Amino acid sequence: MSYSIAEAARRSGLSIDTLRYYERIKLLEPPARDSAGRRAYSDEDLNWLGFLTKLRLTGMPIKSMREYASLRRHGVASAGRRKAILVEQRQSVADRIAELQGCLDILDYKIANYEHIERKALGVAPEMEGISA
Amino acid sequence: MSYSIAEAARRSGLSIDTLRYYERIKLLEPPARDSAGRRAYSDEDLNWLGFLTKLRLTGMPIKSMREYASLRRHGVASAGRRKAILVEQRQSVADRIAELQGCLDILDYKIANYEHIERKALGVAPEMEGISA
DNA sequence: ATTTGACCTGGAGTGCACTCCAGGTCGTAC
DNA sequence: GTACGACCTGGAGTGCACTCCAGGTCAAAT
């Protein structure tokens, strides 16, 4: 199967402009073209796009994704380096999850504080106010 | 206690420039000044900065932090709205954690794939290659 | 035959969150 | 008394990841 740029955008969740942008910056091999010169994305293109969007979701900078994409073009010899990039990214994702978890705890604490204030509704003792919230 | 801007930067993990920037955009009440006109941050300022940096870590845009900061200046009457902002942010953090968890799974899968390739070390059957990794 | 709509290109513009700079003022150390 | 380092101001510059635009081509629909 092959897909128009609009269809590829729909399926990948990226915008049409972003697809062309990714191609320009070499994240994406230039896809095939139809007889009229329009881009025709293959299933393989879409799979790769899907993976790229996952990497983006992890917060990987485009610079690194470009490195990965470039390694991929260099075939099997680059597999070790590619794996290393993924392992490193895995770590950074795990770290980020832990960080967010910490933030969640703080938010919960603050929210509980506000609930505390609400419960004391009218006769407020405003010592909670302005201290650090 | 009061702290020079350099000390406040050290303690908050923000840069000196960022502290001044936060003040300009009204994330931060202008701190007191010493006799020479230099900023003198209070412990309360530092607490607030600490909370701000947590909010930043959650990915909250500065626009929203400004709203929260502005509400805070309007005192106890704004507590409901402030709480609502934190509850909303809590949700977005939880969502983001789930999203990252999904990405982690994908990374693990890919990494396992590379390990699979490594194990087949020399006599490679490269059907793994270029399909979607 | 012309209108429409999806697509094309190269290049400029955007929003965000800082970050840097020039030129100046202070208070202490030599 | 001057050299130094930390600080001040207003404003310009940066890097990132898109996003938008003008002007053009092409195939199918009216």
Q: How many other CB atoms sit within 10 Å of the CB of residue A62?
A: 15
Amino acid (one-letter) located at B8: A
- Under an 8 Å CB criterion, which residues of A touch B? 44, 47-48, 50-51, 54-55, 57-58, 72, 75-76, 79-80, 82-83, 86-87, 89-90, 93-94, 96-97, 99-101, 103-104, 106-108, 110-111, 114-115, 117-118, 124, 126, 129-133
Q: H-helix or E-strand containing B115?
A: helix B79-119
Q: Which residues pair with B124 in a beta bridge?
A: none
Taking CA atoms, B59 is separated from A99, B73, B97, B113, in Å, by 11, 22, 12, 32
- Give residue B43's pLDDT: 98
Q: For A47-71, what is the mean pLDDT? A: 98
Look up the pTM and report it: 0.87
Nearest to A14 by CA among A47, A49, A45: A49
Q: Is the confidence at residue B5, as pLDDT, over 60?
A: yes
Taking CA atoms, B95 is separated from A10, A24, A86, A106, B109, in Å, by 22, 32, 23, 16, 22
- Give residue B117's pLDDT: 86
Q: What is the pLDDT of residues B39-64, one digit of tens each?
A: 999 999 999 999 999 999 999 999 99
Q: For B97-109, what is the mean pLDDT? A: 98
Q: For B84-113, what is the mean pLDDT? A: 98
